[in-house]
């Protein structure tokens, strides 16, 4: 009975060598990192969605693009849709004032605005995807790192049993069972990382699809002085154009 009580995670830690302890430390760091990324991304996503809803409601009910520009000048963009609108308006004004004096401003106003909107969307994409490579790497490698710890633990357990000359089942099952703890730890680290990665990627795809659709509406407004009415099935609604200067 006492020998059974002495077998467990604590006993495994005491008997673990340098490699096993290193793997445990790596698994702990990977778990902390993955949970940090999952929680921070989730909080940022929720906050961004709330702010985006507020801005879009303001944008579609604004009397003119000048009103939107004034609002954005007072309150710096803090979510993707207002950030896109800010740069789109700035590009339209800049091209109107300075024309095509430089290579990156070459082409029509529409071309310049399109490039600016696309660049802004690419920046937002990179921002939303930051950290996902680390999360995906943890989800993909943690089970194998845990398996490495298990194989290493089983090897040492079998060597110790062979040297002691006691090859009975009760002598083998305990050390081998302890070594399997490493596989369980690896799975415990990998499963949340994989699930978190999938949920974050799904959320990012939804936001980027909506942002791309909004970019088309914004471009129409900037290029023609009219905007797509989101409440009327995509009809173009005349609106006071942006005042230049």
Supply the pLDDT for residue 98.
56
Question: Residue 228 falls within a domain, yes or no?
Answer: yes
Q: Is pLDDT at 78 greater than 80 in this prediction?
A: yes
The residue-averaged pLDDT of 133-143 equals 94
The neighbour count for residue 106, using CB atoms within 10 Å, is 12
176-200: b (≥16 Cβ within 10 Å) or e: eebbbbbbebbeebbebbbebbeeb
Residue 160 parent element (H or E)? helix 132-164
* Mean pLDDT of all residues belonging to the chain: 79
Span 33-51, pLDDT tens digits: 999 999 999 999 999 999 9
The answer to whether position 243 is within a domain reads no
Q: Return the pLDDT at 242.
A: 47
List phi, psi (to 5°) of 233.
70, 30
Q: Does the pLDDT value for residue 95 go beyond 70?
A: no
pLDDT digits (tens, 9 = 90+) for 209-221: 999 999 998 888 8
Q: Which of the two residues, 234 and 70, has the higher pLDDT score?
A: 70
Interval 219-226 mean pLDDT: 76
What's the CA gap between 88 and 219, in Å, rounded?
A: 8
- Determine the Cα–Cα distance for residues 190 and 175; give it in Å rounded to an integer: 24
Question: How does residue 234 score in pLDDT terms, banded at 50, 70 and 90?
Answer: very low
Residue 36 lies in a domain: yes
Rounded Cα distance between 113 and 88, Å, is 6
Amino acid 171: pLDDT: 59
What is the band of 4 on the pLDDT scale with cuts at 50, 70, 90?
Answer: very low
Number of independent structural domains in the chain: 1
Confidence of residue 165 (pLDDT cuts 50, 70, 90): low
In a domain, 117, yes or no: yes
**Quick one: average pLDDT of 153-158?**
77
**Is 230 part of any domain?**
yes
Residue 119 lies in a domain: yes
> Could you give the percent of the chain with pLDDT greater than 90?
38
* pLDDT beyond 70 at 15: no
**Which pair of structure tokens corresponds to residue 64?**
């003119």
With 0-12 CB in 10 A as exposed, 13-18 as middle and 19+ as buried, what is 222?
A: buried
pLDDT tens for 179-195 read: 788 888 999 999 999 99
Look at residue 16 in the predicted model and tell me its pLDDT. 62
Range of the domain at 36: 2-238
More confident site: 46 or 169: 46
Model confidence, pTM: 0.75
């Amino acid at each position: 009975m006492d020998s059974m009580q002495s077998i467990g995670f604590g006993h495994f830690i005491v008997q673990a060598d340098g490699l096993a302890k290193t793997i445990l430390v790596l698994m702990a760091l990977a778990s902390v990192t993955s949970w940090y990324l999952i929680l921070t991304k989730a909080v940022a996503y929720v906050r961004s969605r709330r702010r985006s809803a507020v801005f879009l409601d303001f944008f579609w009910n604004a009397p003119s693009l000048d009103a939107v520009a004034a609002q954005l000048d007072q309150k710096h963009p803090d979510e993707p849709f207002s950030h896109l609108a800010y740069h789109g308006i700035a590009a339209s004004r800049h091209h109107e004032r300075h024309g095509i004096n430089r290579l990156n401003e070459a082409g029509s106003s529409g071309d310049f605005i399109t490039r600016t909107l696309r660049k802004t969307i690419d920046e937002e994409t990179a921002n939303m995807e930051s950290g996902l490579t680390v999360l995906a790497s943890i989800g993909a490698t943690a089970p194998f790192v845990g398996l490495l710890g298990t194989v290493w633990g089983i090897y040492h357990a079998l060597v110790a049993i062979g040297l002691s000359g006691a090859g009975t089942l009760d002598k083998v099952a305990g050390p081998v069972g302890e070594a399997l703890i490493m596989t369980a730890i690896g799975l415990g680290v990998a499963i949340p990382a994989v699930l978190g990665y999938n949920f974050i990627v799904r959320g990012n795809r939804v936001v980027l699809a909506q942002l791309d659709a909004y970019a088309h509406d914004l471009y129409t407004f900037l290029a023609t002085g009219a905007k797509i009415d989101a409440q009327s099935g995509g009809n173009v609604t005349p609106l006071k154009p942006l005042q230049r200067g």
